[in-house]
Amino acid sequence: MTDTDETESSLTPESLDYTHLPEQKMYKVSLDDASHFEQGSGDIRSYPVCTTNEFKLLYFEMDPGAVIDWHTHAPSFDEVCLCLDGAARYTLKREDGGEQVLRAEPREFVYLPGGARHKIEAVGETGHEGLVTMPPDSVGRLELLDGAAPYQTDDWPIALWVDRIRDEVVKKDENAVTE
């Protein structure tokens, strides 16, 4: 056994020094009470659920036939989308002008690489519900320069915004978030 093996095997949750960790607290967000913003003619509703220094989580609903039109994120802005209900067609515009199209149904994920021009369409009779995770905005978001609303992510009605570096809750929707 090496020194490394001995050190790793002696670590237990009880032996960790928690004095230098951020405050250990869980939060629950109720979408029924959370604020949201609408896109298009109100047929797309987005709920910014949680933001930290490492990720953002967004829940969205699209009425049947609704489209999140063509947009492009910054090159470092990868997205992973989970279809919760209904179905959606994701279309990616390739550099050669061609398109890649994927259909997502419940319990299926779609990975969208940063910098990719893409759109999302609700398909079927029931609309589409999805959950998106992405990195936080480290630079200005390209699609916000096109005039998409809301214009600044600081204006989003984020339910819970936790700054893990400063160990503080930046924003908390008192109606939607409980401890």
Q: How many domains, the chain?
A: 1
In a domain, 138, yes or no: yes
CATH number, domain containing residue 146:
2.60.120.10
For 2-42, how does the pLDDT look when each residue is reduced to its tens digit (9 = 90+)?
Answer: 555 555 567 777 777 777 776 778 999 999 999 998 887 88
Q: Report the predicted TM-score, pTM, of the whole model to 2 decimal places.
A: 0.79
The mean pLDDT of the chain is 85
In a domain, 127, yes or no: yes
Q: How confident is the model at residue 149 (pLDDT cuts 50, 70, 90)?
A: very low
For 67-111, how does the pLDDT look when each residue is reduced to its tens digit (9 = 90+)?
Answer: 999 988 888 889 999 999 999 999 999 999 999 999 999 999 999
Per-residue confidence (pLDDT) for residue 124, from 0 to 100: 93
In a domain, 51, yes or no: yes
In a domain, 165, yes or no: yes
Single out the residue of 93, 76, 85 nearest to residue 134, CA to CA.
76
Q: What average pLDDT does the segment 121-131 reach?
A: 95
In a domain, 163, yes or no: yes
Distances (CA, A) of 13 to 2, 9, 22, 62, 66: 22, 12, 16, 43, 48
- 44-51 vs 160-163, strand pairing mode: parallel
In a domain, 24, yes or no: no
Q: 3-state class of 98 per DSSP?
A: coil
In a domain, 4, yes or no: no
> Residues 91, 121: contact at Cβ < 8 Å?
yes
Task: Please give the share of the chain, as a percent, with pLDDT higher than 90.
Answer: 51
In a domain, 16, yes or no: no
- Structural domain containing residue 142: 33-173
